[in-house]
Amino acid sequence: MSAPWRRRAVVAGVATSDYPHLPDFSEHAVHAQAAQRALDDAGLTWADVDGLATTGFFPMYATGVAEYLGLHPTYYDETNAGGASFEVLVEHAAYAIEAGVAEVVLVTYGSVQLSQMGRRLGTGGGGGAAAMAPGPAIYDALWGNTLVGNYALAARRHMHEYGTTPEQLASVAVTMRQHAAHNPMAQYRDPVTVEEVLSSRLVADPLHKLDCCVISDGGAACVVTSAERAADLPSAPVYVLGGAHATSHHLNLSAASDLTVSPAAQSGPLAFERAGVTPDDVDVAQLYDSFTITVVLTVEDLGFCAKGEGGPFVEKGGLALGGKLPTNTDGGGLSACHPGMRGMFLVVEAVRQLRGQAGATQVADARVAVAHGTGGMLSTGATLVLGREAP
């Protein structure tokens, strides 16, 4: 039980930018649109913001975004954990609020990856600058592996140890597309079948094109403040019940001890313990779906099923509306939007579910949600447990 005097961190506002294709936007303009909408949603103004959390691909990134937005924050954070970054940034923001060193932290993300870099980065890139890899990254960089290839190695090992099938992996993509059909902004909305996933071309065995996330433009933002401050604000606050993050390796997949276990196996139990809930208490989940295997590993590692049973779990509709763990109710990175580091979108959709604002994919009476980001080459994991009610 928390002490009665303890400040509680809440998410008071959320928004996405327009997506998935923003040819007329700069990366920073995407930040600005998402941030303005999140502040509007929170009923706050730029003048209320004293903290900024964001990350991108350049050092001093948060400082640059602050400059662009005209902010002069006394709390800033740009922890980069790849796709898991924004769960870490919200966790940190919650600590800052609870410590009393910040009042209103804007967490924002923007990307124009699709417009600027084209469609190559996710599925085909990697390895071109192998010999330039910094420091120890050289050891896995000389072999022509790709980003997809790293996840394919994990998928192959999971298939070997647990009998997971390509059909089971494909079922993740099928369910995400079912959810995307209800999201008017989703990049792809037409239904797909398991057979269509399996007949899409192989990018890196055993992963097909439709086992891979889409590549998009887009951004998202949220506003973290204290429950006291949120009491006067228009939207129902969503409590940050607990968070935790972990890492198993960086760019060298050879340094990961077990490819069938992701860092979620560390961050998940810690986050649930800090939140005072168990996986059984979770009503809805937003799980980073960079690739279909990512979701299978994550549902196992977060304890929604036993290790090795992720394949049957997803194949039997565990992720679908009405299933055991409705997941990625906006269509996820596999169908709706994946601009490179999708973690902020996970928080936005989790908050909308807890507010009852998720539209056609609303999970009835959702009280506890999990947002889990996975970054790098299954390198990082960050779990946020969010709740509708004060702990």
What whole-number distance in Å separates Cα of residue 79 and Cα of residue 341?
13
Give the ranges where the chain is alpha helix by DSSP (H): 27-42, 61-69, 85-99, 113-117, 120-123, 147-162, 166-180, 194-199, 227-230, 264-275, 292-301, 310-315, 343-355
What whole-number distance in Å separates Cα of residue 264 and Cα of residue 299?
9
- Nearest to other proteins of 124, 323 (CB atom): 124
- Nearest to other proteins of 30, 213 (CB atom): 213
- Nearest to other proteins of 79, 200 (CB atom): 200
User: In the complex, what is the shortest distance from the CB of residue 251 to other proteins, in angstroms, rounded to a whole number?
Assistant: 10
Q: Which of 330, 329, 345, 356 has its CA nearest to residue 235?
A: 356
What whole-number distance in Å separates Cα of residue 34 and Cα of residue 51?
16
- Interhelix angle 292-301/166-180, rounded to 10 degrees, is 100
User: In the complex, what is the shortest distance from the CB of residue 300 to other proteins, in angstroms, rounded to a whole number?
Assistant: 17
Burial of 298-330, coded b for 16+ CB within 10 Å and e otherwise, reads bbbbbbbbebebbbbbbbebbbbbeebbbbbbb
Q: How many CB atoms lie within 10 A of CB 280?
A: 10
Q: Which residues, 6+ apart, have CB-to-CB distance to 287 below 8 Å?
A: 294, 295, 298, 299, 302, 327, 328, 332, 346, 370, 372, 374
What whole-number distance in Å separates Cα of residue 234 and Cα of residue 43?
6
User: In the complex, what is the shortest distance from the CB of residue 126 to other proteins, in angstroms, rounded to a whole number?
Assistant: 7
Q: Which of 382, 355, 357 has its CA nearest to residue 370?
A: 382
- Nearest to other proteins of 83, 206 (CB atom): 206
User: In the complex, what is the shortest distance from the CB of residue 254 to other proteins, in angstroms, rounded to a whole number?
Assistant: 5
User: In the complex, what is the shortest distance from the CB of residue 282 to other proteins, in angstroms, rounded to a whole number?
Assistant: 30
- Nearest to other proteins of 292, 328 (CB atom): 292
Q: For the chain, how many helices (H) and strands (E)?
A: 13, 11
User: In the complex, what is the shortest distance from the CB of residue 250 to other proteins, in angstroms, rounded to a whole number?
Assistant: 12
- Nearest to other proteins of 5, 143 (CB atom): 143
User: In the complex, what is the shortest distance from the CB of residue 135 to other proteins, in angstroms, rounded to a whole number?
Assistant: 7
What whole-number distance in Å separates Cα of residue 31 and Cα of residue 17?
8
CA 247, chain centre distance (Å): 15
- Nearest to other proteins of 206, 376 (CB atom): 206
What residues make contact with other proteins under the rule CB under 8 A? Answer: 120, 123-131, 135-136, 138-146, 148-149, 152-154, 156-157, 160, 201-207, 252-255, 259
- Nearest to other proteins of 232, 254 (CB atom): 254
- Nearest to other proteins of 24, 201 (CB atom): 201
User: In the complex, what is the shortest distance from the CB of residue 123 to other proteins, in angstroms, rounded to a whole number?
Assistant: 6
User: In the complex, what is the shortest distance from the CB of residue 271 to other proteins, in angstroms, rounded to a whole number?
Assistant: 27
User: In the complex, what is the shortest distance from the CB of residue 145 to other proteins, in angstroms, rounded to a whole number?
Assistant: 4
User: Could you identify the residue written with the tokens 């299954």?
Assistant: 378
- Nearest to other proteins of 135, 184 (CB atom): 135
